[in-house]
Structure 1
Amino acid sequence: MIKIIKRMSIVSVIAALFFMVIQVVSDLYLPNLTSNIIDKGVATGDIDYIWKIGFIMIGFSLFSIVAAVGNTYFATKESQKIGKTLRSEIFQKVSFASHNQMDKVGTASLITRTTNDVNQIQMVIQMFLRLMINAPIMLVGASIMAYRKNAELTKVFIITIPLMIILIGVIMYFAVPLFKSMQKKTDKLNLVFREGLTGVRVVRAFNRTDFEEERFAEANEDFVATAIKVNTIMAMMIPLVTLIMSGTSVLIVWNGSHLIADMQMEIGHMVAFMSYAMQILVSFMMLSMIFIFVPRGQASAARINEVLELEDDIIPAENPVSLADSKEPISLTFDHVDYRYEGAEKLALSDVDFNLKGGQTLAIIGGTGSGKTTLVNLIPRFYNVEAGAVKVNGLPVDQVNKEELIDHIGFVPQKAMLFTGTIRDNMLYGKEDATDEEIWKALEIAQAKDFVSGLEDGLESHVEQGGGNFSGGQRQRLCIARALVKEADIFIFDDSFSALDFKTDARLRKALKENVTDEIVVIVAQRISTVVDADLILVIDEGEIVGQGTHDELKENCQTYQEIISSQLREEEIA
């Protein structure tokens, strides 16, 4: 929490403190004026004095209102500014985070930390600049003023203040752990809710709607039960504090009446003393609220700092080299590469070794979970290799500036992801200054030109979230076109032909062969028909290359490749 508080503007803190001091001084002086009106105006029948002091009280009240507005303005401004900064930093951290970092936190938890946790921090900062400043000053000031009015009556606080402290302590003991647990339960609720939304088609396909509803209801009821419990505990504070305050008033009146009867105290002084007593007890209550909500804010701050302090395992080179300075032609080399996922005992990739030149096509084929996607993710350096080296244009990727490396790679991931906007907006994701001619050319190569031109608005056609208003094959072709718009040295298609029919697949590969002539094309596929024309085919099984060569070579000497062929083609087609 201290790390986040350090981000606060010293100007806003001083301004909030200045206005709060004015407000507190005004509020502390009002009971004294009330005392004077009673003792010097009402008791003596001096109407002019009553009017005079009344106008002074109005002036102090106006000062208090203006000061309260000023304090609230700066407190709110600073809390919102901190919230904005934290959300921006979390988003930026996530945007540039490695895959390993994302896996550590989880998407659902990141959503909670960006929204709920940041809101908790904002609330605590606002409370800090208002209550945390107000309460101590008011407590000290009201105690001094009460003592000045009558030292004898201050003995009442020997009974009431310990009661207040015990009450607040008991409530904090039970409430604070519950407040902390609510953050984790919010994470779980978001996780279940998000899985239900993103997997709604799977849920319906397997008729598991009732199961998901029960699962969400369980997480929801757990959260609600905790929330009800903690709010019930907190609800007890107001009536119990009110009871203590009422008891304090009774004690003050009881003892004060005897002092008045003995001519040791004036009525106005007792009225003022009661006001100061209420200010003292209210200050204690405000402090208790702070001590309850600060631990919750601390828990949120720890969760936010956990994201902000994630160490990037993709460490940039101290003296990065530029691909533009490379004298080597376009090439892609895996030099005996090993890779292991964090915490895993077994290598995900073992001794991967091959070399490609510009104009060549690499196809990667193998069973599910064999390591195909892991291999292509090493090219743009989404992960660091454990041993060996990945080289682009003769330069190790860990020695190249990451942003420049990405600029030289056109990547189509397994999941066809489109962004809300228009088709043109999605195409410009690949190249910001792409012309219509370049976009239509990319769409033509990707076999998407026909259906896009058939849309009423063409390139301006609306794209819903995730491309939900297009079929799987259309989404894949649009994603392929987006990558092709980019002027890259290497194009990677990670199983991005899977939703295409054989005819469209063949036309697309032919178009790639004819139009992408100088660049390297890497295709991850499951179908033999997709890889058959590649210059080099890698056959991967359990992270190891069990065969590499052309289709004809592998058909003769690679058993795993032969098994894939026999599982997909009829005997007469194999021959």
Structure 2
Amino acid sequence: MDALRRLFPYLRPYRAYALLSLATLTALVFLDLAIPRLIQRIIDDGIRPGNQDVVLSTAALMLLISLLSAGVAIGNNLFSVRTGEGVARDLRADLFDRIQGFSFGNLDRQRTGLLMVRLTSDVNALKHLTQISLRIGTRAPMMMVGSLLLMIQTSPPLALTLLPLLTVTSLLIGIFIFRMEPLFRVVQQKLDRLNTVLQENIAGARLARGFSRADFEIGKFDAANRDFANHSIRVMRFMSTMQPLLALCVNAGMVVVIWAGGLQAIEGTLSLGQVVAFGNYLLTMMTPLIMMTMLSNTWAAGLASARRVGEVFADPPEVQDLPGARALPEDLSPTLEMNNVRFAYASAGGDDVLHDIALAATPGQTLAILGATGAGKTSLINLIPRFYDTRAGTVRVGGEDIRTVTQRSLRKRIAIVPQEALLFSGTIRENIAYGKPDASLAEIEAAARAAQAHDFISALPEGYDSHVEARGANFSGGQKQRLSIARALLPHPDILILDDSTSAVDVETETRIQDAMALSAASRLTVVVAQRISTVLKADQIIVLEHGQIAARGSHRELLASSPIYREIYDSQLGGGLPGVRA
């Protein structure tokens, strides 16, 4: 129940609809409970004495009540749907906001497929839970209590005769509800696994095809799919066993009513109409019980979903603004310093991936970070915008310890072009202007020219209004990288970070991009991460990373003379020389 308490604040904005739903539900219960009494009147006061007027007038009243019940039921459904949809919309928005505030460490821990399930399936399960609770979850106990009271009023001895059967039925329902929740929790876990496998397969479809691993992926999905189906069958098997038992209880109850009630009617202690009314009240009481068991899967799924959504809200961002954090000054000089920095990923077992990193760079400089895959290059640059916090040491931008300033003000001064050039569905214009939505077309074109993207954009039929498919699927790797560079250049950041962002373009295009960016780099600090040595030749300072440590630093010429590691990289990549470059 603690997990469900999180829903209560989301009900407050819609309490008017919820109260109207409860009010219409109460009216509906009273109207439904009136029908058996009217049937009793038709039999005892109309049919038996042969009074046609009583039969017609009471039947007309039943018709009127039925029409009124239908109208009230429609209103109840509308109010409950409005409440459930509102709760789901607000919960989904808050959940999305929470995920947007996650640090990279949180996202490393919470897999994409699972977060997608939380935002979609789990929120929908809670929506259904809200709606069902306002319709049947509240109506069922009211119908049961009302029917039981009217049964006792009609014939206390007959009601007492049914007490053992009602007790057994209640115990069966309790066992059913108690067992369903853990079963559904396991089913939801299996569904999580299935969704994760599916999401990873779709994201890596090209890779699977490229390595002819389609059969392996099909097998992996089939295993997860089979596991989910097997556990779902267990739940359905349990439900299919319980429902006939409850139906048996209802039928046994009707047999008792006909037998014991019939005897009382023969003896004259009960009228025939009262026996029929009593039987109707029994059905009115037992039917909601059976409906509750049928809907207990909704309850169990909603409870499991509430726990899972609660886990997302309970996961605090690993990187947070400290109390009293201030914005970076507008006139900040974009310097960068790292002093004795150590860093480790929590998800990697806590072993340091960066050891005692110390560096400094000033405005107008290009700082290059070179190293093999796994050397720690991306880990290092992720510390600059504070995507992660250091384990030890400090990172300073403009002389300010980045832990003492707001993340928003820090990241507004930094632009990053990641290793994987990610484009959003929309237009080229919208993608380039992502960091500066109010940019003019002239500004967008200038950024595209600097990134050597203007020519291929202009060649497209729609130009800058050309459609971009999800993840930029309709552009080549080099085109996506150039569009990503244009997006980063447009806001004129104080610090520009290029994480191996020209790996998919040829050396000649890369050189033109570097020359164009150099024209506007006088007051900007540029950090370039690369594996290709041609990318870093013109850098003011080159840092060579090896196993998370700085193995060498200096300019290209200095490192050729002093660093065997750098010289080995240079010879292996450019042993034959590069046009316009001399050792």
TM-score above 0.5: yes
The alpha carbon displacement at 1:290 in A equals 5.4
2:518 to 513, 519, 526: 513
CA offset digits 1:151-201 (Å, max 9, x no partner): 121134224223323433454465433211111111111111111111111
Task: Determine if the alignment matches structure 1 residue 303 to structure 2 residue 308.
Answer: yes
For the residues of structure 1 that align with 2:146 and 2:406, how far apart are their CA atoms?
A: 60
Would the aligned equivalents of 1:331 and 1:392 in 2 still touch at CA under 8 Å? yes
Query: TM-score scaled by structure 1?
Result: 0.96
Partner of 2:357: 352
**Is residue 37 of structure 1 aligned with residue 42 of structure 2?**
yes
Q: Is the 1:98–1:313 Cα contact (8 Å) retained in structure 2?
A: yes
Residues 487-521 of structure 1, C-alpha deviation per residue, up to 9 Å, x if partnerless? 21011101101111111111111111123322111
Return the alpha-carbon distance in structure 2 between the equivalents of residues 461 and 455 of structure 1.
Answer: 7
Cα distance per residue 1:200-229 (max 9 Å; x no partner): 111111111111111111111111122223
In 1: Cα distance, 2:313 partner to 2:269 partner: 63
The whole-number CA distance in structure 2 between the counterparts of 1:390 and 1:52 is 87
- Kept in 2, the 8 Å contact 1:438–1:485? The answer is yes
Q: Secondary structure at the match of 2:11?
A: coil
Distance (whole Å) between structure 2 residues aligned to residue 321 and residue 171 of structure 1: 56
Map of 2:481 onto structure 1: 476
Q: How many residues are matched?
A: 574
Q: Is the 8 A contact 2:423 2:480 kept in 1?
A: yes
Q: Quick check: 1:236 aligned with 2:232?
A: no
Is contact 2:327-2:405 (8 Å) kept?
yes
Alignment of 1:348-497 (within 5 A): 348-497=353-502
> Residue 527 of structure 2 aligns to a residue in which SS?
strand
Aligned counterpart, 1:205? 210
More moved, 111-120 vs 149-158: 149-158
Q: What is the CA–CA distance in structure 2 between the aligned matches of 1:215 and 1:313, rounded to whole Å?
A: 33
Q: Distance in 1 between matches of 2:281 and 2:350?
A: 68
Aligned residue identity for 1:462: H
Distance (Å, rounded) in 2 between the aligned partners of 1:112 and 1:323:
37
Matched residue of 1:348: which SS?
Answer: strand
Q: Does structure 1 residue 330 correspond to structure 2 residue 316?
A: no
Aligned-partner Cα distance in 1 for 2:573–2:459: 34
Q: What's the offset of the Cα at 1:136?
A: 1.1
Distance 1:325 1:514, change over 3 A: closer
Please tell me whether the aligned partners of residues 156 and 248 of structure 1 are also in contact (alpha carbons under 8 angstroms): no
Corresponding position of 1:110: 115
- How is 1:210-225 mapped onto 2 (pairs within 5 angstroms)? 210-225=215-230
Aligned to 1:4: 7
Query: Sequence identity of aligned pairs in percent?
Result: 36
Query: How do 1:516-535 residues align onto structure 2 when only pairs under 5 Å count?
Result: 516-535=521-540
| 1:286 aligns to 2:322 (yes or no) | no
SS at match of 2:360: strand
Q: Is the 8 A contact 1:83 1:121 kept in 2?
A: yes
| Offset from partner CA, 1:234-256 (integer Å, 9 cap, x none) | 23344333332222212211111
- Of 12-21 and 518-527, the range deviating more from structure 2: 12-21
Q: Equivalences for 1:70-109 in 2 at 5 Å?
A: 70-109=75-114
Q: For the residues of structure 2 that align with 1:572 and 1:69, how far apart are their CA atoms?
A: 80
> What secondary structure sits across from 2:10 in the alignment?
coil
Alignment deviations for residues 85-114 of structure 1 (CA, whole Å, 9 cap, x no partner): 121111111112100111121111111111
Distance 1:349 1:277 in 2: 72
Moved more, 96-105 or 335-344: 335-344
1:295 offset after TM fit, Å? 3.3
Out of 561, 566, 569, the residue aligned to residue 561 of structure 1 is 566
Tell me how far apart the structure 1 counterparts of residues 295 and 473 of structure 2 sit (CA, whole Å): 46
Q: Structure 2-normalised TM-score?
A: 0.95
Deviates further, 512-521 or 544-553: 512-521
Q: Following TM superposition, by how much is the alpha carbon of 1:379 offset from its aligned partner in structure 2, in angstroms?
A: 1.0
Letter in 1 for 2:101: F
Whether the 8 Å contact between 2:370 and 2:377 is mirrored in structure 1 is yes
Paired position in structure 2 for 1:227 = 232
- Residues of 2 paired with 1:559 and 1:284: CA distance? 80
Q: 1:572 to 1:11 in 2, by over 3 A?
A: closer
Residue-by-residue CA offset, 1:294-337 (whole Å, 9 max, x unaligned): 333222111101111211222213223332355x5231222222
- The answer on whether the counterparts of 1:412 and 1:494 sit within 8 Å (CA) in structure 2 is yes
Q: How much has 1:4 moved relative to structure 2?
A: 1.4
SS in 1 for 2:135: helix
Aligned to 1:342: 346
Partner residue, 2:556: 551
2:419 is paired with a residue whose SS is coil
Q: For residue 464 of structure 1, what is the amino acid of its counterpart?
A: E
Taking a change above 3 Å as real, the CA distance of residues 481 and 572 of structure 1, as seen in their structure-2 partners, is closer
Post-superposition CA distance 1:31-62 (Å, at most 9, x none): 01110111011112222222222222223223
Match of 1:123 among 124, 128, 132: 128
Cα displacement string for residues 92-148 of structure 1 (whole angstroms, at most 9, x for unaligned residues): 111121001111211111111111111211121112112221111111110111111
CA–CA separation in structure 2 for the residues paired with 1:220 and 1:181: 14
Q: Distance in 2 between matches of 1:568 and 1:255?
A: 98
The alpha-carbon deviation at position 14 of structure 1 amounts to: 2.1
Mean CA deviation greater in 240-249 or 286-295 = 286-295
Answer yes or no: is the 8 Å Cα contact 1:539–1:546 preserved in 2. Answer: yes
Residue 20 of structure 1 aligns to which amino acid in structure 2?
Answer: L
Q: Distance in 2 between matches of 1:457 and 1:13?
A: 50
For residues 231-284 of structure 1, give each alpha carbon's deviation from its aligned partner in whole angstroms, at most 9, with x where no partner exists. 232233443333322222122111111111111111111110000001111132
Query: Among residues 186, 191, 214, which one is paired with 1:181 in the alignment?
Result: 186
Please give the residue correspondences for 1:146-157 in structure 2 after superposition, counting only pairs within 5 Å: 146-157=151-162
Correspondence list, 1:54-65, <5 A:
54-65=59-70
Aligned residue type for 2:192: D
When structure 1 is superposed on structure 2, of 233-242 and 127-136 the one drifting more is 233-242
User: Is 1:313 the counterpart of 2:318 in the alignment?
Assistant: yes
Which secondary structure does the structure 2 equivalent of 1:521 belong to?
strand
Larger CA deviation: 249-258 vs 459-468: 249-258
Give the Cα–Cα distance (whole angstroms) in 2 for the partners of residues 127 and 512 of structure 1: 60
SS in 1 for 2:359: strand
After superposition, give the CA deviation of every residue in 1:363-406 in whole Å (9 maximum; x if it has no partner): 10011111100111111110112222212222221222211211
Query: Matches of 1:421 and 1:205 in 2, distance apart?
Result: 28
Q: Please give the alpha-carbon distance, in whole angstroms, between the structure 1 residues aligned to 2:8 and 2:236.
A: 27
Query: How many angstroms apart in 1 are the aligned matches of 2:9 and 2:422?
Result: 39
Partner Cα distance (1:27, 1:430) in 2: 60
Rounded Cα–Cα distance in structure 2 between residues aligned with 1:277 and 1:348: 70
CA separation in 2, counterparts of 1:347 and 1:371? 10
* Letter matched to residue 127 of structure 1: I
Do the aligned partners of 2:495 and 2:526 also contact (CA within 8 Å) in 1? yes
**Retained in 1: the 8 A contact 2:184–2:304?**
no
